């Protein structure tokens, strides 16, 4: 089908719909004054990202994204909001205190990500996917696990050590001081 | 893929979705009735026996009553989130049905990451429960939601650990292929394989699953004697019906996933009882799928009965006991089990 002279495929429609939801939800996260609603919108954003992964032929990443980011991290954020019950009732100011600094940080992050993405070698090139729809080859679970345990084993282990340190640290902070101990 | 094909695909997806939804509704109708019969029998009561022959119309009467109820939103509630919460709970409970292999070639949508899809999608529901409890603006609801969140987070970990054992041994995440690997008689079912790791994984899955679907003895997030009705105290009418639907849909999902992973899925217990043989005898090809569907549903029925038996006999645990069971017993056992299974796959099965 042609709209305004462009050929529109169903794949592109799905891409526009999903990325639209993702971007709008992401805007909501930073603009909605109610912090609980912002947290829920964050969940929606992450589901949208999972949808993009599905479109990019990476269903495993999509499932893991939902399991970890939506199922665990969003839940944790909501619980944290509950526990700090002062935050729940009062409006939560989302003002940007230093716009120049914020824009700079966002710009640097964007540039960094953009350069990395543009210079990476892709099994399914995103540009091809958007133009022609997904190729038939899935990025398999096996390929991911081989990558994690062979070339990337050091960063992978480093991340887990970091997580372990965070866990131990939070236990130490949360532990009540016993008198005489 | 051009737009026409895309529209066709959408049509197919919608049809599948409607069929699955109807199946969920029928299953829930049956399960509610069965639960009341089973619990009445175990507690030496009569149970529903007035509406229709043997009381079979009881759930329909219940549903009709529920639809007539006034839809109440309490003052001071967060109206938007209060309305959204039942949907957030129900949609994941319904979406997991998509990957369940109901019979040979009868998976609504076969995914090659089916097992992970299952645990990912079912992890969303907890958000709905928290939101429901918070949006109600009621202390019982909030307490129930708190308990629910800590319980569901705690018991998701052992489920995933238990899930990993049969996946490691069969070497695939595709639920269909896990079932195919268990063909050829009940001694090939995963629960009788890889001693003692898979039977242990089965037990962990069953116990953690009971907590995950929130039934007694782990129903502390809606403990009637302590919290009125927990996170859904303020809900009535259709919104309550959605929570109810999700709960019973989830209890069928639990038995379906247990049957798929450990009890051979749609495989018959003996080869001679399977579809291939009967199809040869009578020369009817579609019968083949239907017989495998029968075996799958029969096994699920048995597991569901077991769950109902457990929930009607065991007393409710305390909150601290519940947390201890998961973090101090199930998770360490699951981790050790995963390690053993890994070693078994790497050193024993490789030979």
- Report the pLDDT averaged over residues B242-246: 83
> How many CB pairs below 8 Å do chains A and B form together?
88
Quote the minimal CA–CA distance from A141 to chain B in Å: 8
Rounded distance between C-alpha atoms, residue A19 and residue A11, angstroms:
12
The answer to whether the CB atoms of A10 and B3 lie below 8 A apart is: yes
Instruction: State the pLDDT at residue A108.
Output: 95
Residue-level pLDDT at A161? 94
What percent of chain B stands above pLDDT 90?
1
Q: Which domain holds residue A36?
A: 2-139
Residue B127: cis peptide before it, omega within 30 degrees of 0: no
Q: How many domains does chain A have?
A: 1
Does the CB of B3 have a partner CB in chain A at under 8 Å? yes
Assigned domain for A122 exists: yes
**Does residue A168 fall inside a structural domain?**
no
- pLDDT level of residue A3 (50, 70, 90 thresholds): low
For B280-319, b/e burial (b = at least 16 CB within 10 A) is eeeeeeeebbebbbbbbbebbbebbeebbebbbeeebbee
| Tens digit of each residue's pLDDT (9 = 90 or more) over A125-160 | 655 555 555 554 555 777 777 878 888 888 989 999
Hey, where are the domains in chain B?
1-68, 70-349
Q: Do B126 and A75 touch (CB under 8 A)?
A: yes
Counting residues of chain B whose pLDDT is more than 70, the rounded percentage is 90
Is the pLDDT at A12 greater than 60? The verdict is: yes
- Which residue in chain B is spatially nearest to A14 when comparing CA positions? B6
The mean predicted confidence, pLDDT, of chain B is 81
What band does A104 get if pLDDT is binned at 50, 70 and 90?
very high
Question: ipTM of this predicted complex?
Answer: 0.77
Does pLDDT of B33 surpass 80? yes
- Which domain CATH number covers A95? 1.20.120.1200
pLDDT at B279: 56
A111 band by pLDDT with thresholds 50, 70 and 90: very high
- Name the band, by pLDDT with cuts 50, 70 and 90, for residue B14: confident
CB–CB of B103/B292 below 8 Å? yes
Give the integer Cα–Cα distance in Å for B63 and B192. Answer: 41
**B111 backbone φψ class: left, alpha, beta (φ>0; ψ -120 to 50):** beta
The better pLDDT of the pair A111, B316 is held by A111
With contacts defined as CB-CB under 8 Å, which chain A residues touch B127? 40, 43, 70, 74-75, 78
C-alpha span between A86 and A63 (Å, rounded): 34
CB–CB contact A78 B130 (8 Å): yes
- pLDDT value of position B350: 66
Output the pLDDT for position B13.
82
User: What pLDDT band is residue A178 in, cutting at 50, 70 and 90?
Assistant: low
> Which is more confidently placed, A128 or B25?
B25
Burial status of residue B345 (CB atoms within 10 A of its CB: 0-12, 13-18, 19 or more): middle
Buried/exposed A52-62: b ≥16 CB within 10 Å, e otherwise: bbbbbbbbbbb
Whether the per-residue pLDDT at B190 is higher than 60: the answer is yes
């Amino acid at each position: 089908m042609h709209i305004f002279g462009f050929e529109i495929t169903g794949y592109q429609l799905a891409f526009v719909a999903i990325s639209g939801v993702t971007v709008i939800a992401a805007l909501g996260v930073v603009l909605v004054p109610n912090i609980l609603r912002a947290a829920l919108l964050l969940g929606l954003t992450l589901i949208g990202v999972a949808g993009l992964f599905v479109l990019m032929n990476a269903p495993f990443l999509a499932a893991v994204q939902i399991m970890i980011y939506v199922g665990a991290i969003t839940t944790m954020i909501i619980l944290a909001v509950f526990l700090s019950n002062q935050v729940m009732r009062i409006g939560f100011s989302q003002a940007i205190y230093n716009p120049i600094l914020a824009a700079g940080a966002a710009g640097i992050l964007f540039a960094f990500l953009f350069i990395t993405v543009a210079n990476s070698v892709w099994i399914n090139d995103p540009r091809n996917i958007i133009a022609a729809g997904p190729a038939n080859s899935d990025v398999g679970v096996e390929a991911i696990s081989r990558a994690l345990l062979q070339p990337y084993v050091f960063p992978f282990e480093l991340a887990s050590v970091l997580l372990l340190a965070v866990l131990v640290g939070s236990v130490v902070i949360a532990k009540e001081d016993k008198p005489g101990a | 893929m051009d737009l026409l094909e895309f529209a066709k695909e959408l049509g197919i997806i919608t049809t599948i979705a409607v069929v699955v939804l109807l199946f969920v509704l029928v299953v829930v109708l049956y399960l509610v009735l069965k639960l009341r019969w089973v619990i009445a029998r175990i507690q030496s009561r009569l149970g529903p026996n007035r509406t229709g022959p043997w009381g079979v119309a009881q759930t329909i009467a219940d549903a009709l009553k529920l639809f007539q109820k006034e839809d109440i939103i309490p003052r001071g509630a967060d109206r938007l989130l209060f309305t959204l919460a039942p949907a957030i709970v129900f949609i994941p409970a319904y979406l997991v049905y998509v990957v369940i292999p109901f019979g040979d070639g009868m998976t609504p949508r076969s995914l090659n990451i089916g097992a992970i899809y299952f645990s990912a999608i079912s992890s969303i529901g907890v958000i709905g429960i928290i939101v429901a409890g918070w949006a109600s603006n009621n202390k019982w609801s909030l307490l129930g939601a708190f308990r629910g969140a800590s319980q569901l987070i705690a018991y998701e970990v052992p489920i995933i650990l238990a899930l990993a054992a049969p996946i490691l041994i069969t070497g695939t995440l595709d639920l269909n292929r896990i079932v195919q690997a268990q063909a050829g008689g009940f001694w090939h079912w995963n629960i009788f394989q890889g001693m003692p790791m898979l039977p242990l994984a089965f037990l962990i899955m069953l116990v953690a699953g009971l907590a995950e679907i929130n039934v007694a003895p782990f129903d502390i997030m809606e403990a009637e004697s302590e919290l009125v009705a927990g996170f859904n105290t303020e809900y009535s009418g259709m919104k309550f019906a959605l929570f109810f639907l999700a709960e019973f849909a989830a209890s069928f999902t639990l038995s379906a996933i247990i049957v798929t992973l450990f009890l051979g899925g749609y495989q018959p217990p003996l080869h001679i009882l399977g579809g291939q043989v009967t199809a040869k005898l009578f020369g009817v090809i579609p019968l083949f799928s239907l017989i495998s569907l029968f075996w799958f549903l029969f096994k699920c029925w048995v597991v569901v009965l077991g769950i109902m038996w457990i929930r009607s006999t065991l007393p409710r645990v305390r909150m601290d006991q519940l947390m201890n069971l998961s973090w101090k017993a199930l998770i360490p056992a699951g981790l050790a089990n995963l390690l053993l299974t890994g070693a078994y796959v790497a050193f024993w099965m490789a030979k």
